[in-house]
A and B are shown apart, each in its own frame.
Chain A
Amino acid sequence: MTAPRAPRPPRPSGPPRPSDPRRPPWHVGDALALRYAQGAAPETDAWSLEKHVESCAPCATRVSAAVRAGAAGPVLAEVRSALLTSLGHRTASAPAAPADRATAPRSPLGRGARLWWTVGPALRGSWVVAVLLVVGGAFGLAYGAGVQGARSLLLAVSPALPLAGVAVSYGRHADPLYEITAATPSGGLRLLLTRTAAVLAVCVPLLTAGGALLPPVAGFPGAAAWLLPGLALTLATLALGSFVGCRPAAATLGGGWLLAVTGPLLGRSEAGGSPGAAALTAYFSGPAAQGGWAAAALACAALLALRRRSFDHLEPR
């Protein structure tokens, strides 16, 4: 939540002042606030003040009060009430004193909040950190330790990451509001799909770009090769989740995938060269593999569509 901004007249045009080392204890005095409100403050002082009130709530309040008490006050009040009416605050009235400003009803449904709420707990800090760690780890291996196959490692792990995101964003174990949301018209599958979309929206660019920036491995598919397996596994998690709940489904499929890729990775790394790249290629490379993943994704999507009503009720314990 940001501190309420002071209303400001249009910024005077002109180049910004070269950054002066601002002394921390400096604050806006009443005299300067008054001159600023009257438009009589020197331009350099006005700039300093404007910069300062962006980060200092007490000064912002003082300047707001001065501006509101001045000639601009009635105009500001009018603009404010017009704005609030258009936003649906019929009960809100223009504040008379700075104290009211803090308690005036803020719209809890701003555009940003709406998006944030749609996503809900999907983008949990811990999960985003995990994704960043995986990408960062791959970079560390590639450029720090000089490991050749970092890109294939990242590619191997990538399809399991959205599953973890789904597991921490929906369901009895992950969402503290789960039972409350289940009794609302927006709960259930709609919420699950929105949160899954949010998870994919973070995963896809991050992991694909990360893979593309790593040194290529000879004979190994491109950075986008994980997309279809990732999508198929995600949809499979949702479909399986309709029977057993999202967390067990994600654990089963994610764990199964990691087991399936660990075997080849460990087996070949002793033989030297890029670890398991050739064995992994079978999962990703070629029209047959990718076509198989696409078919699997479609099948899981169809199963999910058939099972859509199961999300109307609480998932099994």
Chain B
Amino acid sequence: MNPSTAVAVTGLTVRHRRTVALDRLDLSLGPGVHGLLGPNGAGKTSLIRVLATVAAPFSGRVELLGGDATSHRERTGIRRRLGYLPQEFGYYPGFTVREFVAYVAWLKEMPSDRVPAAVERAVRRVGLGDRIDAKMKTLSGGMVRRAGIAQAVVNEPELLLLDEPTAGLDPEQRVDFRSLLRELGTGATVVVSTHLVEDVAAACTEVALIEGGRLAFQGTTGELTALGGVSTEGNDSTTHAVERGYTAALRAHRTSAENAREALR
């Protein structure tokens, strides 16, 4: 395996009771910011949860940061180097932002002499420096999500998994967040699940498109844009172009999936 490959997934199947969320998925990700796109229910959260080691795969191999995520011993080592922002998360209302982030740093077994500085840096990076000693319950929805991002990056993770991180952020905060993403992606492997194509256009170097539990497209943002072809409209923007690419890739995947089913009959 290439040592710079942070995520190597082969034949990953995830089931929730009777439904199949991920169906023999193969995926390999290296450093950079990867956008994980797909319609609702495509399996984005299921994949992120497996990559965050909080969900067990039904079958398949999951190698994260060079370790086997299905082995308990290696998983503990992986978790120290991981950052994870779940789609939905809560907080202890009495905690301040500083305590919330430091609590997660403590759970991640960071050396305690590094924690205070790391907490301040993480909170500053998400733009909450002036609210660091505010109680979590006094924060707005967007601020809570930024505090959530701060806890995910506090240990300078080599693999950072963010499930819908831009939900609840206003446009200006989203712009700031995308620049933070680009900064984080220079060293680490960042996986951002989103349904906002503009997030991908602005911040992601690569895109993985998931549909019906299978990988429909993987490539650079430029390649996805190219799939959409040239616009006939005059006022074309990057976002529009990526959206057209997204739609074209989905259609192509659905057609080929149907053809495969036809062939099986």
Contacts and interface: CB of A to CB of B under 8 A. Distances in A.
B151 interface: yes
Interface stretch (B114-122, B199-207, B224-232): B114-122
Contacts, number: 97
23 contacts: A88-B116, A105-B117, A105-B120, A108-B103, A108-B116, A109-B102, A109-B106, A109-B115, A109-B116, A113-B99, A117-B103, A120-B92, A121-B92, A176-B92, A180-B86, A183-B82, A185-B77, A185-B108, A186-B106, A186-B109, A312-B56, A312-B72, A313-B53
Interface string A288-303: 0000000000000000
A90 interface: yes
B146 interface: no
Interface in B18-72: 49, 52-56, 72
Nearest to B56: A313
Nearest to A107: B116
A191 B79 CA distance: 15
A108 B116 CA distance: 7
Contacts of B88: 179
B112 interface: yes
Interface residues of A, number: 32
B106 A177 contact: no
A60 to B, nearest CB: 18
Contacts of A88: 112-116
Contact of A177 (B54, B80, B92, B108): B92
A134 B35 CA distance: 53
Nearest to B121: A91
A151 to B, nearest CB: 36
A314 B72 contact: no
Interface residues of B, number: 39
Contact of A183 (B52, B106, B117, B119): B52
Contacts of A106: 98, 116
Among A120, A309, A314, max chain B CB count under 10 A is at: A314
B109 A314 contact: no
Given A177-B90, A180-B86, A186 B108 contact: yes
B178 interface: no
A57 to B, nearest CB: 14
